[in-house]
Chain A
Amino acid sequence: MRYPFIVSILLASALIAQDNNLKMPEISLIGDLSWVGRSIDDERYSDLSIPGLTHAHHADDGHHHATINAKRGLNLNYAELMLSSAVDPYVELQAVLHLSEEGVEIEELVATTTSLPWNLQARAGKFYSRFGRLNAKHHHVWNFSNQPLVYEAFFGPHNLLEKGVGVEWVSPLPFYLAIGGELLRGENENSFGEAGFQPASAGENFHQKVEPSSQPGVTTLYLKGSEEFGDLTLLAGASWARGSARLNHLREAKPHAFAGTTTLMGVDLTLRYDFAPHRYLQFQSEWMTRTMEGMKYVPTENNNSWDMTKTSAITKDQAGWYGEVIWGLSKEWRVGARLDGITKNVARKPDDLYQYNLMAEYNPSEFSRFRLQFTRDEARVDDAENRVSSNTLILQWNLSIGAHGAHPF
């Protein structure tokens, strides 16, 4: 285990960095703990999936999905170490290291230009795509402890987090209008995926070998506009992403694979009315569709025989949305509700999948947040495709130390 060593060095540097200076970047550490009560046990919960959209995280799959709030009782969800600084007059670098008990991941490492002409900004590295409204926001600034269902279904637990390059332009119009695009690898396991696969044994059905996707795998385009009417702020966005998909589930209990093209479209709307300092009402909603066109590969004989593979051209059309209302009562207190839905699904899979969330937050200071959240989940099925509803109560504690973070709208 070399991770604890790395972590201890990083933490030591974080403690030494007391002041802004050239030797040290801005450093902050965010910790997230939760106590979870759930109406079904952990194993049964991890065996559930969103039908037609996700696969269960069976412990014996060898998948290590370090999802947050996964177990009943106390969870240490993560520690997130953020470092950022100007590299030179042209570029600044931000790194987000996601530390969990399993190890360290480079969640983000992104170089952003600071001095391009014509109000352009370019970035390169690993980052959250600016597709959609919530996608680019880190977990600690979400209004709820869990992801909206449609994000979980289309992108998995880490949203659309990719290696790539992006460019954004802020228009000279008298209201806010930003247009951007990205070229990404497309490693997302839920909607894209890049590795090729061979469903049938080589030789007999050699033509069935599926090549890896060509690079860059995914292109995104987005547009965000905002206008302000007194104390009412409106932000609306439209996003599009298209790329090659290579979904390989050939080693799972019900083997299948898919190769083709995925197109995602999303629209989002945020309305916020500020009544008084710290008192506001915010409505936020996103709607997304996903179309996957291509070939599906399924072994015909039995699960152990790869000699015969049935291929068929398929088109999958799926859609989902969420809508949330946040009410800021004071500097300390906020309450909110969110409704998630999957409203369009592939044939023979349910298209009435819903999740209901309620939360109340207490912030004893700007750097500490307690959140009590109740989630009623009616969107999941077990291996036999039977609907399994669950109720979850989460008491989350999110803490931050170090450089003073500030977050965009």
Chain B
Amino acid sequence: MRFRLGLLFLLLSSSLWAQIKVVATYGYIEALVREIGGERVVVTRLANPRWDPHFVTPKPSYIVKLRNADLLVVNGGELEVGWLPPLIRQSNNPSIHPGSRGYLELARGVTMIDKPLVLSRAHGDVHPDGNPHIHLDPLNIATMAGMMAAKLTEIDPAGSEAYQKRLQQFLARWEQKCAQWQARMKPFWGAAIIEHHALFDYFLRRYGLLKVATIEPLPGISPNAKHIASVIAEGSKRQVKWVLLDLYHSQAEGKIVAGRIGAKAILLGHDVGSTPEQMSLETLFESIVRSFEQ
């Protein structure tokens, strides 16, 4: 019996070893890896998709995940700068160090928006390369899927055909979805909105929504009464229709602002897994689009 169990264990573990072990920092990256990698990869995610992507508790269990990884896929654009570097260092796994073959930074492949002209923390917790929440433009997702397929092929050349096939299938599906979202968001082109943190800017820009203010006075700085007053003034003047709230900032200020200017406050999940309705890449955007339609 013990022998058979041992054999079973060996078989199981050898089949596991054959798969590419991928670590993804965020939920949407995990979903992308699954889309392209399929059966050839096992993927684990680090950050809790309901929580703040800038501040992730660097749990020692993450070191174990990184230690055993063949590939680490990160968002980049300094979104992980406050929590990931010591974990990579502590994992003692040279193959996933930044710049190594087993390290993929998705922000490198897309054009980042709102790159600060003046780099100073007097303007809050700014990211030198621009707004790092790149995945909320569905067209960027397509670009990143291509990067993922290329990287997986590099790590696992034997899977080249499989990755290409899965990429083509995904892109075909994604193209349809993007066309639908484009059509459904069209009525809102040019509408003014307010958001709490500069989190949904890529989505807003894609669909022509105009951000007139943020509840945060500066990135990473909590709101104060004086700033809220100016947001309310700006919001009424610009006839703001929606105040976008997210899961990891306080919602009270945004609701007050929405109430005062007669706008609708909508709570949006920002990542795959943020809310029960957003468990895949499609539903992440589907849920956001629907929030505007309702």
Q: Which of A96-104, A168-176, A250-258, A350-358 contacts B (4 or more CB under 8 A)?
A: A168-176
Are A233 and B52 interface neighbours, CB within 8 A? no
**Are A408 and B61 within 8 A (Cβ)?**
no
Partner of B92, one of A168, A364, A367: A168
Q: Determine which residue in B58, B121, B220, B248 has the highest number of CB atoms from chain A within 10 A of its CB, and name it.
A: B121
A235 interfacial contact with B, CB 8 Å: yes
Q: What CA separation (Å) do A121 and B60 show in the bound complex?
A: 16
With a CB–CB cut-off of 8 A, which chain A residues contact B220?
365-366
- Per the bound structure, the CA–CA distance linking A32 and B219 in Å amounts to 25
A278 to B50, CA, bound (A): 12
Question: Is the beta-carbon distance between B61 and A175 smaller than 8 angstroms?
Answer: yes
- Inter-chain contact A19/B64, CB cutoff 8 Å: no
Mark B64-104 against chain A: 1 for CB-CB distance below 8 A, else 0: 10011000000000100111111101111110010000000
* Interface bin, chain A: 35 or more
Could you tell me the distance in whole angstroms from the C-beta of B64 to the nearest C-beta in chain A?
5
Taken together as a complex, chains A and B put the C-alpha atoms of A352 and B183 apart, in Å, by 74
B63 close to chain A: CB less than 8 A: yes
What residues of chain B lie closer than 8 Å to A33, measured between beta carbons?
none
Number of A-B contacts (CB under 8 A): 98
The interface residues of chain A lying within 8 Å CB-to-CB of B87 are 408
Is B81 touching A114 in the complex (CB atoms < 8 A)? Answer: no
Contact present for A172 and B68 (CB under 8 Å) = yes
A364-409: which residues lie under 8 A (CB-CB) from chain B? 364-367, 401, 404, 406-409
Task: Assess whether B67 is in contact with A172, with CB atoms less than 8 Å apart.
Answer: yes
How far, in Å, is A401 (CB) from chain B's closest CB?
7
Interface flag for B51 (CB, 8 Å): yes
A233 and B86 form a contact (CB under 8 A): no
A318–B129 Cα distance when bound, in Å, is 54
**Bound complex: CA A276 to CA B50 (Å):** 9
Q: A176-B64, A233-B57, A367-B121 are in contact. Are A277 and B52 (CB under 8 A)?
A: yes
Residue B110 at the chain A interface, CB threshold 8 Å: no
Q: B243-258 toward A: CB 8 Å interface, digit per residue (1/0)? A: 0000010100000000
Look across to chain B and name the residue whose beta carbon is closest to the beta carbon of A231.
B48
A120 pairs with B92, CB closer than 8 A = yes
Do residues A277 and B81 form an inter-chain contact, with CB atoms below 8 A? no
Most A CB atoms within 10 A — which of B68, B78, B92, B248? B92
Top 7 A-B pairs, shortest CB-CB distance = A226-B60, A115-B94, A176-B60, A119-B92, A277-B51, A277-B52, A277-B248
B residues in contact (CB < 8 Å) with A:
48, 50-52, 55, 57-61, 63-64, 67-68, 78, 81-87, 89-94, 97, 119, 121, 124-125, 128, 220-222, 248, 250
Task: Please name 11 further chain A to chain B contacts, defined as beta carbons within 8 Å, in addition to the given A233-B61, A278-B55, sorted by A numbering.
Answer: A116-B94, A119-B91, A173-B64, A176-B61, A228-B59, A274-B51, A277-B52, A278-B52, A406-B83, A406-B85, A407-B86
Residues of A within 8 A of B (CB): 18-19, 112, 114-116, 119-121, 168-170, 172-176, 178, 224, 226-228, 233, 235, 272, 274, 276-278, 280, 330-332, 364-367, 401, 404, 406-409
